[in-house]
């Protein structure tokens, strides 16, 4: 009886010790056939499952075993009898993302009658067009003691989108009477500070626009993936984000001859006339997020990502310049700018995709591929529109937002 009680007490203490030591109590009991290790891996951890793949056996509730892909890595002598067991990984991603921004309305159709422009009874607003553009990410990191990983990642995005609009060819009607039927034109918004002799915005027979963006992101983060269940792993991470965003918006218009009585006078500069707008900024701040993996068989998984950052941002340059519309009235050229505008800007990211990975040569290496559709939203980045609104009216609504979404194809190699 006493011997049986001692055996039970020993088993209880052994199980409790394993729990506090972050060793699953089912590991030894259910370890029928340990995963073979590569011949060159010496010493090699004797495990009953491969980290990052589904668990087997029974595990205690709320068990948070490390879930990072566990390759053999290297051992480094840190001095004073301290050893660092570390592995490294590198990844590269191809991006095919759609980039767009709110607040880039170009013009609306109108009716020109006796030198005055009226809105048409059926008004249409024309917006800058957007499209998918290629980009890339590259990253490098290492995994140290206790399965903590530290990594750096760089994101490169560039894009240029052009749009072109012409006034309708058919006559339009303003109001409800035939007396206000006139020449169809495009009524430009505040892309030009120039105005007509009666104080209206400029009108055009043709407008073209070009929006260019350049985005560079640098992320430095630390993380420790862990099991939240036999097939569910979570990778919370936190760190620092550095962002550089440049934008350029060019609008060119051709003035209608009807605005000058049927023919362009000599005082009008060569057509088209242009509006040139630039915004440069940098930002730095904390970034936090989490990756969630649901593990299927044979190395496949469903993955989701959610992250947020809040950046101290400085707009080092926001400028506008334009050609004069007429050298006999409202002469230019006009310029306006703001410098060193400081603020806070939030960013959010969301993604959903599928992945597949496998160990190579036992546990010497790990190779992984994934494909996801990602969303990135950057608040209040359209400072060009804010500058023009503030200049014309003395006030403006909140700056419009910049956003990206699209496909991301990633490969990763752990060694």
pLDDT for residue 17: 39
CATH no., domain 88-414: 2.40.128
pLDDT for residue 331: 62
State the burial class of residue 40 (Cβ atoms within 10 Å of its Cβ: 0-12, 13-18, 19+).
Answer: exposed
pLDDT for residue 176: 55
Only one residue has tokens 């499952």, namely: 49
Q: Report how far Cα 214 is from the mean position of its chain's Cα atoms.
A: 12
Q: Report how far Cα 93 is from the mean position of its chain's Cα atoms.
A: 13
CA of 266: how far to CAs of 76, 197, 257, 320, 385, in Å? 79, 16, 12, 26, 32
pLDDT for residue 411: 98
Name which of 307, 361, 333, 402 is nearest 41 in CA terms: 361
> Is residue 43 reached through a cis peptide bond, with omega within 30 degrees of 0 on the bond before it?
yes
pLDDT for residue 59: 56
Q: Cα(365)–Cα(52) distance, rounded to whole angstroms?
A: 13
Only one residue has tokens 């350029």, namely: 248
pLDDT for residue 46: 45
Please give the DSSP secondary-structure letter assigned to residue 361. Answer: T
Domain boundary assignment for the chain: 2-65, 88-414
> Looking at the whole model, is its pTM more than 0.75?
yes
CB 207 within 8 A of CB 165: yes
HSE at residue 95, side-chain half, CA atoms within 13 A, is 23
HSE at residue 384, side-chain half, CA atoms within 13 A, is 29
Over the chain (415 residues), the average pLDDT of each successive run of 10 is: 46 38 29 41 50 65 73 69 80 98 93 81 90 98 89 98 89 63 85 82 92 98 92 96 98 83 65 94 98 94 98 97 75 85 98 96 92 98 94 82 98 96
pLDDT for residue 265: 62
pLDDT for residue 171: 66
């Amino acid at each position: 009886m006493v011997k049986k009680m001692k055996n039970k007490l020993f088993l209880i203490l052994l199980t409790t010790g394993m729990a506090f030591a972050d060793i699953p109590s089912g590991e030894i009991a259910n370890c029928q056939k340990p995963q073979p290790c590569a011949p060159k891996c010496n010493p090699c951890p004797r495990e009953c499952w491969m980290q990052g793949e589904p668990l087997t056996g029974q595990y205690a509730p709320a068990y948070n075993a490390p879930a990072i892909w566990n390759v053999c890595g290297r051992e480094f002598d840190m001095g004073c009898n301290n050893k660092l067991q570390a592995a490294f990984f590198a990844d590269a991603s191809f991006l095919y993302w759609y980039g767009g921004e709110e607040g880039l309305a170009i013009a609306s159709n109108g009716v020109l009658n006796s030198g005055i422009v009226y809105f048409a009874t059926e008004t249409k607003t024309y917006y800058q067009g957007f499209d998918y553009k290629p980009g890339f990410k590259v990253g490098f990191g290492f995994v140290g003691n206790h399965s903590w990983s530290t990594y750096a990642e760089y994101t490169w995005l560039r894009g240029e989108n052009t749009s072109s609009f012409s006034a309708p060819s058919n006559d339009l009607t303003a109001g409800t009477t035939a007396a206000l039927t006139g020449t169809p034109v495009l009524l430009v918004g505040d892309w030009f500070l120039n105005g007509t002799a009666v104080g209206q915005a400029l009108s055009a027979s043709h407008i073209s626009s070009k929006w260019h963006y350049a985005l560079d992101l640098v992320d430095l983060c630390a993380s420790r993936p862990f099991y939240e269940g036999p097939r569910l792993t979570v990778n919370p991470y936190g760190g620092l984000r550095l962002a550089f965003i440049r934008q350029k918006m060019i609008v060119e218009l051709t003035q209608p001859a009807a605005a000058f009585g049927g023919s362009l006078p000599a005082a009008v500069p060569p057509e088209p006339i242009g509006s040139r707008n630039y915004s440069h900024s940098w930002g730095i701040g904390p970034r936090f997020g989490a990756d969630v993996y649901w593990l299927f068989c044979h190395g496949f998984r469903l993955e989701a990502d959610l992250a947020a950052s809040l950046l101290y941002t400085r707009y080092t340059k926001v400028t506008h310049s334009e050609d004069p519309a007429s050298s006999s009235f409202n002469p230019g050229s006009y310029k306006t700018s703001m410098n060193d505008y400081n603020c806070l800007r939030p960013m959010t990211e969301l993604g959903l995709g599928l992945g597949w990975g496998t160990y190579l040569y036992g546990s010497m290496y790990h190779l992984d591929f994934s494909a996801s559709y990602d969303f990135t939203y950057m608040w209040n980045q359209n400072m060009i529109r804010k500058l023009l609104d503030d200049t014309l009216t003395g006030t403006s609504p909140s700056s419009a937002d910049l956003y990206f979404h699209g496909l991301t194809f990633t490969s990763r190699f752990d060694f």
